Amino acid sequence: MYASEEDWREVDAYFVDTLVPEDEALIEARESGRRTTMPQAEVAPNQGKLLAMLCHIAGATRVLEFGTLAGYSTVWLARAVGEKGRVTSLELEEHNAAIARMNLERAGVADRVDVLVGPAADSAHRLIEDGAEPYDFVFIDADKPSNPEYLRAALALTHPGSVIVIDNVVRNGAVTDPDSPDDRVQGVRTVLADIAQDARLEATALQTVGSKGWDGFTIIRRAH
Ligand code: SAM
């Protein structure tokens, strides 16, 4: 029997209702995604909580995020690092960043988050040039063609033991097509190949189904 997308949604709703309570600030951050330039592009609540749990497991207090949108994942990450932690989130659009800042304020974490506006590659290179303290956890969730560049920047901004998560690696199954004309697919394929040949990194990737349809993410541990 094949489950339908409706079944996936129902199961996700059950898991979220059972295990992932959201307060008003998280609900508002998620729903305000509709007013951004990329409606409904935020992670699902159970994935947001997974990011927070990975931060806890990794003992992360410094987090770097590529792609803020309305700050939904950012709220999860900022809460995970605690009062003394820091999150730097990179976002192209000032319009989205303004919505995110309001959501971060509402969630009580604005003082521990810097939203840097502009192309994420430029912001990341500025962080490298400025000698930013290494990050313990990186979430890459911006424009997919730039994934290889974001991974390189992440490696310049992390330390052995850091964890890196890259979202949306399934591309409706097109990730297996070496000849795909879609530059987002090629961005994912290239970054996976880069990870595979980098002796410092151990990684796996998982397909997921749920409220966001068919998706998946890569999780990387920087061993050296
Ligand atoms: N991480 C967010 C969450 O889960 O709530 C969702 C991020 S959404 C998938 C991707 C975001 O990346 C959008 O807000 C988009 O404006 C931003 N983006 C796209 N291209 C970018 C670039 N070159 N530099 C920085 N951000 C970019």
Atom of ligand 1 nearest to the CA of 142: 12
- pLDDT > 80? residue 1: no
pLDDT at 158: 98
pLDDT (mean) for 116-135: 98
Output the CA torsion sign for 70, 72, 74, 79: positive
Confidence of residue 2 (pLDDT cuts 50, 70, 90): confident
Q: 116 by DSSP, 3-state: which?
A: strand
Q: Which of 31, 63, 96, 141 has most ligand 1 atoms within 8 Å of its beta carbon, as the pocket-test mutant?
A: 141
182 exposed, middle or buried (CB, 10 Å; 0-12, 13-18, 19+)? middle
Tens digit of each residue's pLDDT (9 = 90 or more) over 41-71: 999 999 999 999 999 999 999 999 999 999 9
pLDDT at 138: 99
> Number of folded domains in the chain?
1
Q: 102 by DSSP, 3-state: which?
A: helix
197-215 burial: b if 16+ Cβ within 10 Å, else e: ebeebeeebeebbbbbeeb
Ligand 1 pocket, CB under 6 A: 37-38, 41-43, 67-69, 72-73, 90-93, 96, 119-120, 141-143, 146
Confidence of residue 179 (pLDDT cuts 50, 70, 90): very high
Tens digit of each residue's pLDDT (9 = 90 or more) over 142-174: 999 999 999 999 999 999 999 999 999 999 999
Tens digit of each residue's pLDDT (9 = 90 or more) over 59-110: 999 999 999 999 999 999 999 999 999 999 999 999 999 999 999 999 999 9
Residue type, 28: E
| Centre of ligand 1 from the C-alpha of residue 152, in Å | 18
- pLDDT > 80? residue 124: yes
Q: Which of 76, 92, 95, 117 has most ligand 1 atoms within 8 Å of its beta carbon, as the pocket-test mutant?
A: 92
167 exposed, middle or buried (CB, 10 Å; 0-12, 13-18, 19+)? buried
pLDDT at 148: 98
| Centre of ligand 1 from the C-alpha of residue 51, in Å | 16
CATH number (domain holding residue 53): 3.40.50.150
Domain containing 143 equals 5-222
